[in-house]
């Protein structure tokens, strides 16, 4: 019976491509149509702020699969084709050219879009955000020695691009509204590590500031702060977060709240419509709350679970949230879901940037981050999933193996 069904995937990122792959791996023999709005093969986004941004080389490495893969697995790939609507009554998706494709089940992998500045000068030449291959190429063109680049926002993407800019020899200023970059995610103890890291590499980090305008005639010349100070700029990179791309879902009448709301398997308020990746705000059985994760690992792992549900199969257990970053000589992995209000316990040396940090709530580990310390991910995940109360002094003691903790 599955050979007579049509599944449609909307979205040309990692989550969309991996959903098509998982459907085939799970034995689906029917028609798969994958709509990718950009003119590229579906691709991963981490290289756009990391290796590809720095080198401009090996563009082929960003693609999830080469073109032959889609033909070999009988996936109809429609690049450069945007879906403009979902007709749930007719069970059809509609493209911006009016083409209609019937579906039995459809999955939304529409991702997220960068939040835009809403201040004067935001549309001047030389103001960039990062989401697409073309964005990465445009930003790389200004990463040259002596160029003055101002970053508005000190989140993960902004800091990664700032590190690339400094390594390229540009003069870098980061403007952050809060007291520390990343403090809402990491809390002050660990966020300070990243502030110190960037300052040690020559970044002018200004915290607690408000941006009022981007200045310039046709092209940017500076960024004006609320106190009247103008920070000179030859280019501005905006990194103030991203918003889930829910427009299709809203227009189709699906439930939306900080993304497309879905159960643990990605099934939305319509049983024949699923959501996966950045755009999906899903129930997480272990965390016992609804979460939306905008990181690569979620787009990599969640599709197997969603594909299983689309096929009415039992899927894998949802993974814990995971993300990573590389900035200068700092490599980091983070597992779990901590809160800046959690107690933080550190094992290792913060100043040397070689440590493991633990977030604790009611004595239980909610998240763990390893910084320039490797091969501890499985132990951290086990510790989180155990829900055991762990004495902070044992967490901090490097002589106590993580595997031996309660």
Q: Show the tokens assigned to 60.
A: 């082929």
Q: Rounded mean pLDDT of 372-400?
A: 96
Query: Residue 2: its pLDDT value, please?
Result: 61
Burial class of 201 by CB neighbour count within 10 A (0 to 12, 13 to 18, 19+): middle
Query: Residue 169: its pLDDT value, please?
Result: 97
Query: Residue 118: its pLDDT value, please?
Result: 95
pLDDT higher than threshold 80 for residue 359: yes
pLDDT higher than threshold 60 for residue 1: no
Q: Rounded mean pLDDT of 330-357?
A: 96
For the entire predicted model, the pTM comes to 0.95
pLDDT in tens, 49-85: 999 999 999 999 999 999 999 999 999 999 999 999 9
Q: Rounded mean pLDDT of 287-297?
A: 95
Please name each of the domains of the chain with its CATH number.
Answer: 2-113+242-310 (3.50.50.60), 123-238 (3.50.50.60), 329-404 (3.30.390.30)
pLDDT in tens, 145-186: 999 999 999 999 999 999 999 999 999 999 999 999 999 999
Across the chain, mean pLDDT equals: 96
Q: Is the dihedral of CA 244, 322, 155, 49 positive or negative?
A: negative
Query: Residue 242: its pLDDT value, please?
Result: 94
Q: In this structure, what are the phi and psi dihedrals at residue 155, rounded to the nearest 5 degrees?
A: -85, -170
Q: Rounded mean pLDDT of 260-284?
A: 98
Q: What is the DSSP string of 180-247?
A: STTHHHHHHHHHHHHHHHHHHTT-EEEES--EEEEEESSBEEEEEETTS-EEE-SEEEE-S-EEE--H
Query: Residue 340: its pLDDT value, please?
Result: 86
Query: Residue 247: its pLDDT value, please?
Result: 97
Query: Residue 406: its pLDDT value, please?
Result: 79
Classify 97 in phi/psi space as left (phi over 0), alpha (psi -120 to 50) or beta: alpha
pLDDT higher than threshold 60 for residue 129: yes
Q: Rounded mean pLDDT of 28-45?
A: 97
pLDDT higher than threshold 90 for residue 15: yes
| Structure confidence at residue 88 as a pLDDT band (50, 70, 90) | very high
């Amino acid at each position: 019976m599955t050979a007579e069904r049509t599944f449609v995937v909307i979205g040309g990122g990692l989550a969309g491509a991996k959903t098509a792959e998982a459907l085939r791996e799970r034995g689906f023999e029917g028609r798969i149509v994958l709509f990718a709005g950009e003119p590229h093969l579906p691709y991963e986004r981490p290289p756009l702020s990391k290796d590809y941004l720095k080198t401009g080389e090996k563009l082929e490495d960003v693609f999830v699969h080469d073109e032959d893969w889609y033909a070999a697995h009988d996936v109809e790939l429609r690049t450069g084709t945007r879906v403009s609507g979902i007709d749930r009554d007719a069970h059809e998706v509609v493209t911006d050219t009016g083409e209609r494709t019937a579906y039995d089940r459809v999955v939304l992998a529409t991702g997220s879009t960068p939040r835009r500045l809403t201040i004067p000068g935001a549309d001047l030449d030389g103001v960039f955000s990062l989401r697409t291959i073309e964005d990465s190429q445009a930003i790389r063109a200004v990463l040259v020695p002596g160029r003055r680049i101002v970053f508005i926002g000190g989140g993960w993407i902004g800091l990664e691009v700032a590190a690339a800019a400094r390594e390229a020899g540009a003069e870098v200023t980061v403007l952050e509204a809060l007291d520390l970059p990343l403090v809402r995610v990491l809390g002050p103890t660990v966020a300070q590590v990243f502030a110190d890291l960037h300052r040690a590499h020559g970044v002018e980090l200004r915290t607690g500031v408000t941006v009022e305008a981007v200045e310039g005639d046709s092209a940017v010349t500076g960024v004006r702060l609320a106190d009247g100070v103008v920070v000179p700029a030859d280019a501005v990179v905006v990194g103030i977060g991203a918003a889930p791309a829910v427009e299709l879902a809203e227009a189709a009448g699906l439930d939306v709240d900080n993304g497309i709301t879905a159960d643990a398997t990605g099934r939305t308020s319509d049983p024949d419509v699923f959501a996966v990746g950045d755009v999906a705000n899903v129930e997480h059985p272990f965390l016992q709350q609804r979460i939306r994760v905008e990181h690569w690992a979620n787009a990599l792992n969640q599709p197997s679970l969603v594909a299983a549900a689309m096929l009415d199969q039992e899927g894998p257990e949802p993974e814990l949230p995971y993300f990573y970053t590389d900035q200068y000589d700092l490599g980091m992995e983070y597992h779990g879901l901590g809160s800046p209000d959690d107690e933080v316990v550190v094992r290792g040396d913060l100043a040397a940037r070689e440590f493991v940090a633990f977030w604790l709530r009611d004595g239980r580990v909610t998240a763990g981050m390893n910084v320039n310390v490797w091969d501890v991910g499985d132990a951290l995940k086990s510790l989180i999933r155990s829900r055991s109360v762990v004495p902070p002094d044992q967490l901090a003691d490097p002589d106590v193996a993580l595997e031996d903790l309660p």
